[in-house]
Chains A and B, each alone.
Chain A
Amino acid sequence: MLPDLRSSIALASPELFLAIAAMVLLMIGVSVGRKATLLVTSLAIVALAVAAVWVAGFSHDGAAFGGMFVMDSFARFAKVLALAGSAATLLMGYNFIRAARFDTIEFPVLIVLCTLGMMVMISAGDMLALYMGLELQSLAIYVLAASNRDSLRSTEAGLKYFVLGALSSGMLLYGISLVYGYTGNTSFAAIAQALAADQRQLGLVFGLVFVLAGLAFKISAVPFHMWTPDVYEGAPTPVTAFMAAAPKMAAIALTVRVTMDAFEPIAADWRQIVIFISIASMALGSFAAIGQRNIKRLMAYSSIGHMGFVLVGLAANSQEGVRGVALYMLIYLVMTLGTFAFIMSMRRTTGHVENTDELSGLASTNPVMATVMTLLMFSLAGIPPLAGFWAKWYVFLAAINAQLYTLAVIGVLTSVVGAYYYLRVIKIMWFDEPVGGFLPMSGELRAVLGFSGAFILLYIVFGGPIGRVASAAAASFF
């Protein structure tokens, strides 16, 4: 069973391109020095864009490297999202890291390598590819989180994420070893085959639990969420924006692939776990965020809650559910990037501010910024007709059609509770006394914020074609 190398390389060519691009960028950066950061960042964005076009337009379905690498419409959808998310964060982050004086050439290179890891995760067809992709992605993020090494909090965030991430990798590997022990294989297809042929064994379920625990850590779902608020708060804001957007999306895509491809025959088992994690995340994301005053911590809890909503779609275990997950990830990505573009613009002459009280009266000092942020907050809360509402609509509808009534009802209730803290931000902006405006937004932040606002506002208009793409993506599992 020797994999055909030439067709494998052809199938994985966007990944190879990105890997080579990262190394070339590194060489350029090393030979020119720190002056080259702008050049390397621009080239990195170009490389990510080229890879996205390559994936979207010029890739075909199939399996490569003996089934370790799977390319299908779901992978294509998720990869384009990952590449776009990474490129957007690079675009948003450059001025920030320059102002904070850690604009090293390695920053864009690490983001490109991290994106490579995400693409491998999304295309994983084997436990080994899963682990290597996850580790490539996580290792780059550990470094990025600590990249502002003169800041104690950034270093703490990096170290905290690293220690807990290593623990979660350990759990994941233990789970994989149990699964390997019981099925004799690491390939998803072969695991599914062995599971379908054999009766369910207890040890295998243990393996499944550990694998899901490791993945839940990466998507920061309860009860593996403890690192999230601290790391989000401590890491430099562009890195937080990056962590909250693309890698999370990739980890969700990976979770979908593992559950749908490898553990499909024991769906009853993993669905219980996913439902529990989903309910716990939604509840914690809603209640724990109420007391938060730091907007990055608030977004951390918000993202925990959103991961709970995404998992509702996965729990449905249907094509409709996976479609909901895909659309939710798209909309979540756009909303998160927009919100972080806003957070990065919370800048006075004294520096960046992160407290929600600093937004006081923004509607009178900077009405455009406040309006777009209001749209984003409404969308995150799930108010119709904005995109965030449709994201929740798809996953709850899938849950109802899969007879998961309790889950859907809990989801709607926590969504109502969660609306409180989003509305609170809006209230601070519109009804509190002005405390002085922010410095003018830079062009790239304005572009990202504007795009995000337009997307969530107009989603109802062009949601149809996007929905069809997502349906095609979901169809690759059924």
Chain B
Amino acid sequence: MLPTKGGEAHSGTVMLNGLPAVFFYLFAFVAIASAFMVIAARNPVHSVLFLILTFFNAAGLFLLTGAEFLAMILLVVYVGAVAVLFLFVVMMLDVDFAELKSGALQYAPIGALVGIILVGELIVVLGGYAFSPRLAATTGQPTPPLAERANTAALGDVLYTHYLFAFQLAGMVLLVAMIGAIVLTLRHKANVRRQDINQQVARVPETAIEIRKVRTGEGV
């Protein structure tokens, strides 16, 4: 869903200016800063909140490139579901994150080394790659120009029209995963009380309520 401004994107010389540039640098800076805070914050709840801030800024970056659908999905799925789930886990499982992180600094040199190597490799790869000259002719699902097809519609084309078959099959795979999880883990234990709605509905005051005479000052 990257914008291709008259083919300039291929040569890597797209320059942002004006208002988009301001917003790009704003979102990018806040995203990186809050991502750093995710690992630096002492309080795990703060970490998750910073993570949510990172997601919001990433969504802003998506909006700038014209991928409004991905931006919304990022918010709905990651902020709405995943991050909130993290928040629950962090708050409910009383994990001592400070202790977990206490050794982190001693691994920092190795971490930094790995990071530097990765960055170096990325520079080599991104600096040296080129698209095949015939790619435009052979691409199965070329990204339509933004002006012709909004990207929500373009994604819909891909998912529900061209790849309908694969999409439905993915549904079957998920069904198998669900059946599998139930087959392998569900056990009906004898001493576990299960909710029986029929039984609940069939309750009547005669069987459910017991009237006792309580003497004053003696309790039940």
Contact = CB atoms under 8 A, between A and B. Distances in A.
B54 to A, nearest CB: 27
B165 interface: yes
Contacts of A423: none
Contacts of B134: 184, 194, 197-198
A113 B135 CA distance: 37
A262 B182 CA distance: 38
A3 B162 contact: yes
A3 B134 CA distance: 25
How many B residues are at the interface, by size bracket? 20 to 34
Contacts of A8: 165
Interface string A92-120: 00000000000010100110010011001
Given A147-B183, A183-B138, A186-B140, A139 B176 contact: yes
A184 B166 contact: no
Given A106-B182, A132-B169, A182-B132, A113 B161 contact: no
Contacts of B161: 2-3
Tell me what chain A mostly uses at the interface: helix, strand, loop, or mixed: helix
Nearest to B179: A106
A66 to B, nearest CB: 6
Nearest to B139: A184
B164 to A, nearest CB: 6
Contact of A136 (B162, B165, B173, B183): B173
B172 interface: yes
A136 B184 contact: no
A129 interface: yes
A184 B138 contact: yes
A190 interface: yes
Contacts of B176: 110, 113, 136, 139-140, 143
Interface in B115-164: 132, 134-135, 138-140, 161-164
Given A2-B162, A133-B169, A184-B132, 16 more contacts: A64-B165, A68-B163, A69-B165, A113-B172, A132-B169, A132-B170, A136-B173, A139-B173, A139-B180, A140-B180, A143-B179, A146-B184, A147-B184, A184-B138, A185-B138, A198-B134
14 contacts: A3-B161, A26-B179, A66-B162, A106-B179, A110-B176, A113-B175, A132-B173, A136-B176, A139-B180, A143-B176, A184-B139, A185-B139, A187-B140, A193-B138
Interface of A: 1-3, 5, 8, 12, 19, 23, 26, 64-66, 68-69, 104, 106, 109-110, 113, 116-117, 120, 126, 128-129, 132-133, 135-136, 139-140, 142-143, 146-147, 149, 158, 182-187, 190, 193-194, 197-198
Interface of B: 132, 134-135, 138-140, 161-166, 169-170, 172-173, 175-177, 179-180, 182-184
7 cross-chain pairs, A with B, having the tightest CB-CB distances, nearest first: A143-B180, A65-B165, A132-B169, A184-B138, A185-B140, A184-B139, A128-B166
